[in-house]
Amino acid sequence: MNATTEQRVWDPLVRVFHWGLAAAFAVAWFTEHQPHVLAGYAALTLVAVRVVWGFIGPRHARFRDFVRPPGEVMAHVREMLQGRMKREAGHNPLAGWVYVFLFLSLIGLTVSGMATLAAEESAGPLAGMVAGEQESTSLYEDDEYEEHEEEGHAESGGRDWEEIHEFFANLTLALVLLHLAGVLLGSLMQGQNLAAGMITGRKQVDNEDTQEERS
C-alpha cells in the first residue's frame, strides 16, 4: 500500500452542492405536486451553479481536473479489475464521467419536468412555450371541434413530456446508484470513507499525487 497524506480536497461549495442535490433528488423522487416541483427547481439551480463552478472553481472542482480521456478511464478500470485503486486527490477518471452524465441527465430531467408542467397545467417557466404551441388550431374549425382538438393536443403533449421525464428520472436513479456503488467500492479498496470526505472536505491521497499537486 502506498504512503498517503491527508489533505483538503473538496471546497465548501462542492460539498454543499453534493448534499443539497442529494436532498433535492430524494424529495423530488418521493413527493408529488408542489414539493416535487420546488425540489426540481432546486436541483436545476444547483446543477447550474455547479456547472459554472466547474470552470471557475478550485482545481478539483473544475471539469478539466476530472474529465479524463478514454485511455485514462480504461487504465483505471484495468487497475480496478486487478484489485488496485489509486488514492487520487480529486475524482478518479471513471467517476468523473459518471458525474458528467449525471449532470446531463439531471438537466434533461428538470427541463422535461418543467415541460410536463407547462403542457399539463400551463404553469411554470415553459408555460408560454410548450402550452402555447398546443393552442394553435385552424380558423375554419367550428368551436366544438376546436375545443376537442386543443384538449387532445394538450393531453398528447403532456403524455409525451411525461414519458421523457420518466425516462430521465430512471436514468438519473441508475446513475445515482452507480455513483453510490462506486463510492462503496472505492472506500473498501482505498481503506477510507469517501462519503465522509464529502462532509469534511478531506481525504487520504497517495504521496506521489500530493507531490504532483505541489509541483
pLDDT in tens, 61-80: 999 999 999 999 999 999 99
Region 39-51 average pLDDT? 98
State residue 120 phi and psi, 5-degree precision: -90, -35
Q: What pLDDT is attached to residue 133?
A: 46
C-alpha 97: how far from its chain's center? 11
Q: What pLDDT is attached to residue 96?
A: 96
- Enumerate domains of the chain plus CATH numbers: 4-214 (1.20.950.20)
Q: What pLDDT is attached to residue 55?
A: 98
Region 48-67 average pLDDT? 97
Give the span between the Cα atoms of 9 and 197, in whole angstroms. 8
* 3 pLDDT more than 50: yes
pLDDT in tens, 162-204: 999 999 999 999 999 999 999 999 999 999 999 999 999 999 9
Task: Compute CA distances 169 → 106, 111, 144, 181, whole Å.
Answer: 8, 11, 37, 18
Give the span between the Cα atoms of 120 and 126, in whole angstroms. 11
* 95 pLDDT more than 90: yes
Query: CA 201, 83, 66: angle at the middle one, nearest 5?
Result: 40
* 150 pLDDT more than 60: no
* 131 pLDDT more than 80: no
The three three-digit cell numbers of residue 86, written as one number: 489509486
pTM here is 0.83
Q: What pLDDT is attached to residue 157?
A: 61
- Could you tell me which of 28, 182, 32, 48 has the C-alpha nearest to residue 120? 32
Q: What pLDDT is attached to residue 102?
A: 98
State residue 202 phi and psi, 5-degree precision: -115, 150
The three three-digit cell numbers of residue 52, written as one number: 459554472
